[in-house]
């Protein structure tokens, strides 16, 4: 249900809203030109590309040759929106990698990737290629 009821909620307005939705008086959201998810898909694809490029750069130079803050921010964004686009696995991997890099940023330890990051980051790179 997608409707608006102002607070404080009046019982009669709530009841009218429920009846309206039970009768199917509201048009359902349909795929097509008006579908927000599909309109935003190019931006999602661009974000996947950004993560892929930044992750590869970090793997090539984990000792500070890449922008770890940028990678962490992109991972955060990807983790937050991937499920909307049906890519739950990408979102899960991005969240896992983001936690690793956020910790690395707070500890000022950017180098020497360990087993905890290599596997999920490599899988994320494959998934975003």
Please report the pLDDT score of residue 1 as a whole number.
45
Please report the pLDDT score of residue 26 as a whole number.
55
Residue with the two structure tokens 């955060």: 76
Measured from the Cβ of residue 59, the count of other Cβ atoms closer than 10 Å reads 15
Please report the pLDDT score of residue 46 as a whole number.
96
Let me know: does 114 contact 63? Beta carbons within 8 Å: no
Domain count for the chain: 1
Kindly give the confidence (pLDDT) of every residue in the chain, 129 residues in length, as a single tens digit, with 9 standing for 90 and above. Answer: 456 667 777 788 888 877 777 766 555 555 555 578 888 899 999 999 999 999 998 888 766 656 888 899 999 999 999 988 889 999 999 999 999 888 877 776 555 667 778 899 999 999 999
Q: Considering the domain boundaries, does residue 12 fall inside one?
A: no
Q: Containing domain of residue 97, as a range?
A: 36-127
Q: Considering the domain boundaries, does residue 15 fall inside one?
A: no
Q: Considering the domain boundaries, does residue 19 fall inside one?
A: no
Please report the pLDDT score of residue 37 as a whole number.
82
Q: Considering the domain boundaries, does residue 22 fall inside one?
A: no
């Amino acid at each position: 249900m997608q409707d608006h009821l102002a607070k404080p909620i009046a019982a009669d307005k709530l009841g009218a809203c429920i009846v309206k939705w039970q009768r199917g008086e509201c048009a359902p959201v349909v795929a097509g030109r008006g579908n927000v998810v599909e309109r935003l898909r190019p931006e999602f694809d661009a974000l996947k590309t950004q993560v892929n490029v930044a992750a590869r750069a970090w793997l090539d130079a984990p000792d500070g040759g890449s922008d770890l803050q940028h990678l962490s921010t992109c991972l955060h964004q990807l983790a937050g929106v991937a499920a909307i686009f049906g890519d739950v696995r990408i979102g899960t991997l991005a969240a896992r990698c983001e936690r690793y890099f956020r910790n690395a940023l707070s500890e000022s330890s950017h180098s020497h990737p360990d087993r905890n990051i290599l596997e999920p980051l490599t899988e994320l790179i494959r998934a975003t290629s």
